[in-house]
Amino acid sequence: GDCCRCARCIHADPGTMKMLRLRSPSIFSLNQEMQCTVRLLDDSEISCNIQRDTRGQFLLDHVCNHYSLLEKDYFGIRYVDPEKQRHWLDPSKAVVKQMKCVQPYTMCFRVKFYPQEPIKIKEELTRYLLYLQLKRDLNHGRLLCPFADAAYLGACIVQAEIGDHDADEHPADFIGDFKLFPKQSPKLERKIIEIYQNELRGQCPALAELNLLQRAHTLDTYGVDPHPCKDFTGVTAFLGFTARGFVVFQGNKRIHLLKWADVSKFKFDGKTFYVIGVQREKKLVLTFHTSTPAACKHLWKCGVENQAFYKCAKSSQIKTASSSNIFFKGTRFRYSGRVAKEVIEASSKIQRDPPVVHRSLGQSRSFNSLSHKQLIMNMEPLLPEVELEGREGNFTETAEAESAASAAGVEEEGRHVEEEETACSLTISDTAYNPCASVLPTPVEEGQGGMDFLFQSPGRLLKELHADPEVQAELRREREWELVEETVHQVQHEPTDGGRRLGAVLRSAARLVTAAGALLLVLLPLLLLLLESNLDVSFLQDIRQTPEFEQFHYEYYCPLRRWFVCKFEGLMEWLWGASNG
């Protein structure tokens, strides 16, 4: 009955129909369910239905409940927007408002904050998920290490996945079936087999995984999610945030480590990212330039979250960060989760029986090919523009590139998925990692600009794929000339950079003076109005009785008031006469 009457009213009254149409997003579509798929660390997927007002925390809890995971604060959900920009899903905001791509939504469950001391993780399940993430980091070239460490980590993975060596089941070249690193040399594979057979025999999967965590967390690139950018001289750099602090990789080494205690704040303006801190008791300002404003904002938010997580002693100390000066509106953001110390304390209080860990057997061998997923790969490429001649222990940077397309056959529908891929492959020589340029993952069409698209890098990066001696000699001469030009460019721009900083200081001072002046223009008339009113307030009475105020009242205020009254009466008489005429 009531439903029928409502239907008749809607048909009878066009105005009512218009009002309901305007209100429909908040009445009807809230109940509309949308499918959301989350890809897990072992490349399996789980799905759930969400509504328009479902927050990100629900989705994160859904994945954690799937695992029966309690130590959930280390993890997050990542997605890629239609512009190929990566984001971390904000637990406090609605999923639909964050996702700008076409349904169904596809995201990835990943480690967001790497534990500084994996030994303090309470449950085996959490350690296993961190192990899966580190295995991905090794395979995609983000976790770089010296030869000896690489061999040990590879042996731990083999021991964890297939157990003790069995000569009947494992042929001499069985390590070749494992895709552990972007590129594996025969020497490395022989070393992995040696450690696997002699040092790790008898270890269960959980112990082998723990040994990998213990070795990996000592590496400089542990926990680094590389953000490609350029410094103020135009040289490629990769920024990252770890449990130790803010790091910068350039060339084949880490050039900056600013510990969290020395980091004051992060700021961004457009495509420019600023790191403000203290080093050797002097103020330090590092400036970097990203490819897009969206990439810069993502970098800033990652910095704010990591600083809060690792630096603060408790979540109540976390402050809202602003991207601009105090008197001018900018992006404001606050990390809303628990901090590292609180997570460790909560882990120590877990009393339940450990959940069963369901491991994916032989997973690393499936990394040889992703064709079984029929993934269409895309990347955000950016390679260093300097030749890296490494020695043992040196590190090179690689950018994580994310998948931004759907499974084959539905590419036209515009679904975006995230899949990390390395931006440059790594070869392990006799002593160290030696990076080389690699072809771009498919499909990267010529019209897309490839790796030149972000920063218009020289085309010589692709020429390095050729082994022609003449080409290599020409490239060496070109690099030597570029090094000279870079030195000259840096010398020429030092005054410019100093002038830019001086200009920024002057602009900030001018804004402060302007804001103070505007505040005075508002407060002084308000104070004068209160003083000349009949309000019986003690402190106003005291001010009125001072000789200075009485002098101001009789010599300035009263004549000014009479002048305004006279002018106002004259204006009213003129208006009255004009209306009667």
Q: What pLDDT band is residue 42 in, cutting at 50, 70 and 90?
A: very high
pLDDT in tens, 146-179: 999 999 999 999 999 999 988 778 877 788 888 8
Residue 205 in this model has a pLDDT that exceeds 70: yes
pTM: 0.62
pLDDT in tens, 73-128: 999 999 998 888 999 999 999 999 998 777 788 999 999 999 999 999 999 999 99
One of 3.60.21.10, 1.20.80.10, 1.20.1440.20, 1.10.10.60 is the CATH number of 118-219+356-463, namely 1.20.80.10
CATH 3.40.50.410 fits 227-340, yes or no: no
DSSP string of 243-287, one letter each residue = SSEEEEEETTEEEEEEEGGGEEEEEEETTEEEEEEEETTEEEEEE
Residue 352 in this model has a pLDDT that exceeds 80: yes
Q: Which of 12-21, 132-141, 305-314, 564-573 is least confident?
A: 12-21
User: Distance of alpha carbon 51 from its chain centroid, rounded?
Assistant: 26
Stretch 379-388: mean pLDDT: 32
The predicted structure's pLDDT at residue 245: 96
The pLDDT > 90 percentage for the chain reads 41
Higher-confidence residue of 472 and 382: namely 472
CATH architecture entry for 32-111: Roll (3.10)
The predicted structure's pLDDT at residue 179: 87
Nearest to 508 by CA among 330, 329, 327: 327
Higher-confidence residue of 194 and 423: namely 194
Angle, vertex CA 109, rays to CA 104 and CA 115, nearest 5:
165
pLDDT in tens, 482-504: 566 666 655 554 555 566 678 78
Determine the Cα–Cα distance for residues 22 and 356; give it in Å rounded to an integer.
51
Q: Which of 203-212, 452-461, 521-530 is least confident?
A: 452-461
CA separation (Å) from 578 to 52, 334, 566, 569, 574? 61, 61, 18, 14, 6
Residue 394 in this model has a pLDDT that exceeds 90: no
Stretch 18-26: mean pLDDT: 44
Domain locations along the chain: 1-31, 32-111, 118-219+356-463, 227-340, 530-569
